[in-house]
Amino acid sequence: MPTIRWTDVMAFLPELLRGARYTVTLTFVIMAISIVAGVLVALARMSRYRVLRMPMVAYVEFIRGTPGLMQLYYIFYVFPFFGLTLPAIAAGIIGLSINYTAYLSEVYRAGIASIPMAQTEAAESLGLSYWQSMRLVILPQAARIVLPPTVNYLLSLFKDTSLLSLITIQELMFTGILLGATTYKYFTIFTEVAILYFIICYPWALLATWVERRMKASPDPTSGIGPRRLRWVLGPAAST
Amino acid sequence: MGATAESPIVQVRDVDKSFGRLRVLDHVTLEIGRGEVVAVIGPSGSGKTTFLRCLNRLETITRGEIRFRGQVMQRKLPGEPTVELSGEALRRLRMDIGIVFQQYNLFPHLSALQNVTLAPVHVRKVSPVEARTGAEALLGKVGLADKAEYLPAQLSGGQQQRVAIARALAMDPHLMLFDEITSALDPEMTAEVLEVLRGLAGEGMTMVVVTHEMGFARSVANRAVLMVGGRIVEEGPPDQLFGAPRSERTRAFLQSVLRA
């Protein structure tokens, strides 16, 4: 039975924390890109124009039908053959963003589709443009519905950034692998890595549960308890 | 009324509308003059709502022409250039046409006041302060001055519908369309909403009112239009249409309504 020595724990900690910080930063950057891009992809996929709709369907289905790791490898190892050599960090951010955008866009598409057509009609009858209707009327209502699944995706992204270790990005997982390769103290190191991941993720898991419970307490998005909660969760929306 | 020196505010010429193979409007022709209050009545499924929705292009017509203040909004006629306003041109036109829906369709995430100020601020580019002042005045006018900060779900149906009217009025429209706006309301709330409409008519607002409220149609409208099966069967002053209907269809409809 191997043992864990406190001095080892403390010795590895600074470097692992550096890796953890990188993991958190990468997660937020990728998530921010994916949320914005996800909304745009969702809108394009719901467009009345085929030229916008069709490529997005192909994109989303392709991404959902292939492993994320393969997508990362493709960008990092295959693109250079076509003259596109990206630094690992760029390849990693692009790869995971492309992946998460596809999944989030499906969530957002469902969320937007759940807002009654009558809301769009009311907005456009007042002279609001398509984008104004979206920004001021539809998306604020859809945001409430997609908030819980979005927090869940954020949570899984924290862990999925470990895939980036395989294209040499020194996030938490790769830092652990490197330390293990030089010291062979895998038990100590990966226990620490596991605990650090858990410490990062658990608050978000709690938040996800909390948000979901809040939302469930208000069954109908048009019932008013809902929107009031949304304002309470997200801050006042589209105020004049 | 109706025949003023000015050109009509709405001109509907020979309009057909089909959903697939179902013909909902059948050669509808109608002119609405400035300040006129036109009540559109008829049995369920007669095309009243579709007709109203064509007037601000929530529906596209299959054939015919619709003009608003002289400008062609939609036209699909053989031998004449087809017009299908969209984008900016359609938007500009819709700014001047207010519509109130049966189900209110208020924005549930915004307060009553924000519902009213949204379009003036973002479409007319009125300053937020000015929009607020205007919205407060309008909410006062529909009797809801004290509900400005309430969310739609915290209001009764009649109150929501009055907010919806204020929301449409905030754009200072030249024409107001009302689509069975009291159908979802109980009698008491219906009365408070109709009171607002009566006031508007008194101020000279041009209105097209699709309604089941025969009493209201008779007492407030300048003109009543009876639609059956997508056609205008009879139109005329309410007293004549209700009191001395010329067509058999009108008599049959009125009888069925009165019996109900």
To the nearest whole Å, the CA of A19 is away from the closest chain B CA by 41
What letter does residue A171 receive in the DSSP assignment?
Answer: S
A170 pLDDT band (50/70/90 cuts)? very high
Q: Looking at the partner chain, which of B91, B117, B168 has a beta carbon nearest the beta carbon of A129?
A: B91
Dig out the tokens for B19 from the structure: 């959903």
What is the CATH number for A154? 1.10.3720.10
- Are A123 and B107 a contacting pair at CB < 8 A? yes
* Residues in B 159-218 with any Cβ partner in A closer than 8 A: 167-168, 171
- Are B122 and A132 a contacting pair at CB < 8 A? yes
Identify which of A125-134, A208-217, B237-246 has the greatest average pLDDT: A125-134
Task: Please calculate the CA angle A219-A225-A226 and round it to the nearest 5 degrees.
Answer: 60
**Which residues in chain B touch residue A132, judged by CB atoms under 8 angstroms apart?**
122-123
Per-residue pLDDT at A236 exceeds 90: no
Query: Which residue bears the tokens 């519509």?
Result: B99
Per-residue pLDDT at A223 exceeds 80: no
To the nearest whole Å, the CA of A141 is away from the closest chain B CA by 7
Would you state the pLDDT for residue B96?
Answer: 96
- Are A118 and B153 a contacting pair at CB < 8 A? no
In a domain, A223, yes or no: yes
In a domain, A1, yes or no: no
Range of the domain at A31: 6-239
**Which residues in chain B touch residue A238, judged by CB atoms under 8 angstroms apart?**
109-110, 114, 118
Mean pLDDT over the full length of chain B: 92
Q: Quick check: A41 and A56 in contact, CB under 8 A?
A: yes
B87 pLDDT band (50/70/90 cuts)? confident
Would you state the pLDDT for residue A78?
Answer: 95
In a domain, A97, yes or no: yes
A130: nearest CA in chain B?
B87
What is the number of CB-based contacts under 8 A between chain A and chain B?
A: 92
Burial letters B157-175, b for 16+ CB under 10 A, else e: bbbbbbbbbbbbbbbebbb
In a domain, A100, yes or no: yes
Per-residue pLDDT at A218 exceeds 70: no
In a domain, A84, yes or no: yes
- Are B123 and A238 a contacting pair at CB < 8 A? no
In a domain, A47, yes or no: yes
Question: How many distinct structural domains can be found in chain A?
Answer: 1
Chain A contact probe: residue of B107, B159, B172, B181 with most A CBs at under 10 A: B107
* A147 part of contact set with chain B, CB < 8 Å: no
pTM above 0.80, yes or no: yes
In a domain, A56, yes or no: yes
How far is residue A129's CA from residue A39's CA, in Å, rounded to a whole number?
Answer: 17
How far is residue B54's CA from residue B61's CA, in Å, rounded to a whole number?
Answer: 7
How far is residue A7's CA from residue B51's CA, in Å, rounded to a whole number?
Answer: 81
Per-residue pLDDT at A233 exceeds 90: no
**Which residues in chain A touch residue B156, judged by CB atoms under 8 angstroms apart?**
none
Per-residue pLDDT at A77 exceeds 90: yes
- Are B153 and A122 a contacting pair at CB < 8 A? no
Would you state the pLDDT for residue B213?
Answer: 87
What percentage of chain A exceeds 70 in pLDDT? 90
* B97 part of contact set with chain A, CB < 8 Å: yes
What letter does residue A167 receive in the DSSP assignment?
Answer: G
